[in-house]
Each structure stands twice: as C-alpha cells, then as structure tokens.
A and B are shown apart, each in its own frame.
Chain A
Amino acid sequence: MTDRSLDMLIDEIVLGLAEPADVARVEAMAADDPDIAARLDRARARFAPLDDTADELELPEDFWARVERDLDGADSLADTPAEARAPAEVIDLSGVRRAMTRWRGAAIGGLAAALLLAVSLGWTLMNPAQPAVIAVLLNEQGEAVALVESRPDNTTRVTLLEQADVPPDRVMQVWTKPEDDGPPVSLGLLARGLSDTLTIEGLPAPHAQQLYEITVEPEGGSPTNLPTGPILGKGLAKAPVI
C-alpha cells in the first residue's frame, strides 16, 4: 500500500467510512508500527474538535450503577497478577451456547458478518482449498478477536484480529468440540502469539454450529488437555455459502 492510499484509508477509518476488515487490518499494522500508529492518532486528533460540538446531555441517575454492574467480571486480565487469579479450573463448555446469546451476539452480528465476508473472501481467493466452516470468535464484550477457517481435513487457519493480552509465561490454545456433547479437543497452540495454521489428524470433518474457542493456558498447553484458562474468544462455526 502506498503512503498516500494508507493516509486515505486512515482518514476513512476516522470518519467511520472504512470496511471493518480494513479497520482491523490498519489497527493491526498500527500495533506493530509506531509510525502508522502516530498517523492514525494525528488523523483522529484532526477531527476530534467535532466531538466537542455535541450537546452535553444528562446521564440517567442510575447510570453509574449500570456501568459498575458491567465491570464485575470485566476486569482486565493483563492487570491481574498471575498468582492473584483464581486457580485453574476446568471450564464447563456446556454453558457456552447459552452464554453466547447473552454476549450481545446480535448487536455485533453486522460487524462480524462483514468481517467474515471480507476476510474469508481474501483467504479464499489466495487459497484454492476452501474452508468447510468459518467461525468468528468474539470476546466477552462481543468484539471479534479471531477468525477461524477450517478445511474438511481440519487444517485450521486462525487469524487474530486483535493483539491478545497474553502474559509472557502463557500461551494461546485453540479448541473445538467435534461433537456437540463430547469433550473439547485441542487443535494446537498459537505458540508465537500470532495468527497461524494448525493441523490435526483423526478428527471428523468440521460442521456448522461446531464450537471453536481460544483460551490462555500455561506454557506448553493445558496440563489437563482440557481448557483451563480464561477464554479470549469463542464462536460457533458456519458453513460459507460459496
């Protein structure tokens, strides 16, 4: 991308005109490149005076109580010392489906769908072998954090959409449940902390509604071979319409 077209894209992101996939891409670039981050910040600062032109409205009286209620459980992992965290427990994934509905799936649906289309199209064009299923993994706030594309042989491409807050002595582990009522199975580790392609043998071909999730585990992966750590993101797969 030329500098000039990148600056244009940055301006469009600041205005809210860019596609979600472009926003994710530029934000990922900014995370790695202080120069791009600075250009993004400068562009935002140029338009920021418009925020001050909005009316100052009155918040409802109980507003702080509403916010505070949401903070419970939202405390940032990055700021909790590892030893202060609850001891690792095996997570019961049976509640995940119920939880998904609470996780503002609907509110985020548009963005997730757009991301899914844009990113999967990119991958599909570059890779003749098409994925059997695609899942957008959402975090607790309903933000898309990863895109999972899995082929019939369970070769699974995991594209991170947000820089994950993983402590240095921990690793991201990718899981799926090949059978809805069966145990979760590890697809592998994102040992480099980056997007990666994982391969595994002996699993049935992935199907729609199959659960995928990424958890934070001790170095080398979960000691129990079941997810034990906090969930970074999870989502149910869909078969792409091709």
Chain B
Amino acid sequence: MTECDRREDTGQPFMDHAALLKSCAGGDRLALQKLMDAEGGRMLGVARRMLRRDDLAQDAVQEALVLVWRKAHQFDAQRGSAKGWIYTILRNRCLTLLRSEDREVATSPERLSASEDAQVIDTAFDRLADTTDLRRCLEGLDVQTRRAILSSYVLGHSHGEIAGRMEAPLGSVKSWVRRGLLKLRECLS
C-alpha cells in the first residue's frame, strides 16, 4: 500500500506538514522535498487552474516552494494548518503572476473561453464533499453569485474580469460579490 492510499483510507494526512515545515526552518532540504512529494501535484493543479499555462504553473509552484523554504521559520503551528499556509503562499504567487501577465493573458484565447471557465468552476464545486459546510453554504447562494465567488478563488479572476464575463458594471459586481461573501460568512460561522 502506498502512502497515498493510506491517506485516502484513513482520511488523515499521512504526513505531518507542520513538522516538515519546522525541519525546513532548521535547514533540512529533505523535509522540503517530502512536502513537494506530498503536495506538489496538487499545487500544480491549483496553479494550472489559475494560470492556464503549464510553464507558468510550474514556475509558480517552484517559486512557492522556495518561499515556503525561506519563510518556514515564520510558520506558527498555533495559528493554523500548515497545508493551508503552503497553499496561501502558492495562491499569492499565482495571483501575482496572473495580475502581472494580465495584459498578455487577458487577450489569449484560452483566457476568453467562458464555457471552459464555467466547466472548471462547476467541477470544483461538484468535487467539494457533500458534507462540507462550504458546499452547503455555497449552495445557499444564487448561481451567479456562487460562480462569481468561485471564479475569483478558483480561477483567480479579478472584479474586472468577473464584470466583463457578467457584462455588468464594475461597481455592481463589487457590491454583489460582497453581499454573497457576507451571506457566506454568516452561514459558515
């Protein structure tokens, strides 16, 4: 049985990410390699979903892992999940790349494929386990609001991109996303 199988069997993380981060902070490169082995594939998936290009997605994961290494000493296990901390670093890298590439990426055909975008965010929603609160609360939003919120988190779309897709004024989209977020926060807390 591989380690991955075991993780799925038990529903528990098979590795202690927080301990690995601590080892990274102590200068143990093997610990970073273990984190890469455990999360690299999923990280690439997250980056690919946002950046839409394999080369950019790989750059983002590579940079994120180096940042994880550099910042490992800042991670505080009291504050939250180690895995979440790693994905926050990755998402921030992706967003930075996405925003700085905006002018080029926004006009590329793959960026404009609205049907593909809709498919990606619907898949993300469908894959959320039925039991999660996030799924239950997202179900409580109207479809358009749900899609707007998902396309910002999953695809990294900006307010402007969402407004473009919805053919709605920017200001309306902003207040509309905010209402959705408020509803979501109330439902989730």
Q: How many residues of B contact A (CB 8 A)?
A: 68
Do residues A76 and B33 form an inter-chain contact, with CB atoms below 8 A? no
B98 to chain A, nearest CB (A): 8
CB nearest neighbor in A for B127: A53
Q: How far is the CA of A43 from the CA of B80 in the complex (A)?
A: 11
B149 to chain A, nearest CB (A): 7
Do residues B100 and A109 form an inter-chain contact, with CB atoms below 8 A? yes
The majority secondary structure among interface residues of chain A is helix
What is the 8 Å Cβ interface bit string for chain B, positions 36-63, against chain A (1 contact, 0 not)? 1000111011101100000001100111
Do residues A17 and B69 form an inter-chain contact, with CB atoms below 8 A? no
Q: Is B20 an interface residue (CB 8 A)?
A: no
CB nearest neighbor in B for A144: B96
Q: Is A56 an interface residue (CB 8 A)?
A: yes
Q: Is B15 an interface residue (CB 8 A)?
A: no
What is the 8 Å Cβ interface bit string for chain A, positions 26-61, against chain B (1 contact, 0 not)? 000000000001100101111111111111111110
Q: Is A16 an interface residue (CB 8 A)?
A: yes
Q: How many residues of A contact B (CB 8 A)?
A: 50
Q: Is B114 an interface residue (CB 8 A)?
A: no
A117 to chain B, nearest CB (A): 13
With contacts A53-B124, A74-B70 taken as known, whether A45 is within 8 angstroms of B181 at the C-beta atoms is: no
CB nearest neighbor in A for B80: A41
CB nearest neighbor in A for B155: A16
With contacts A53-B127, A110-B96 taken as known, whether A141 is within 8 angstroms of B70 at the C-beta atoms is: yes
Do residues B153 and A110 form an inter-chain contact, with CB atoms below 8 A? no
Q: Is B182 an interface residue (CB 8 A)?
A: yes
* Chain A interface residues toward B at CB < 8 A: 7-8, 11-12, 14-17, 37-38, 41, 43-60, 63-64, 66-68, 70-71, 74-76, 78-79, 106-111, 114, 141, 165
Instruction: Provide 12 A-B residue pairs closer than 8 Å at the C-beta atoms, listed in order of the A residue.
Output: A8-B178, A14-B153, A16-B153, A17-B152, A55-B45, A59-B40, A74-B70, A76-B73, A78-B73, A109-B100, A110-B99, A114-B99
* Chain B interface residues toward A at CB < 8 A: 25-27, 29, 32-33, 36, 40-42, 44-46, 48-49, 57-58, 61-63, 65-67, 69-73, 79-81, 83-84, 87-88, 91, 95-97, 99-102, 123-125, 127-129, 132-135, 149-150, 152-154, 156, 158-159, 177-178, 181-182, 184-185, 188
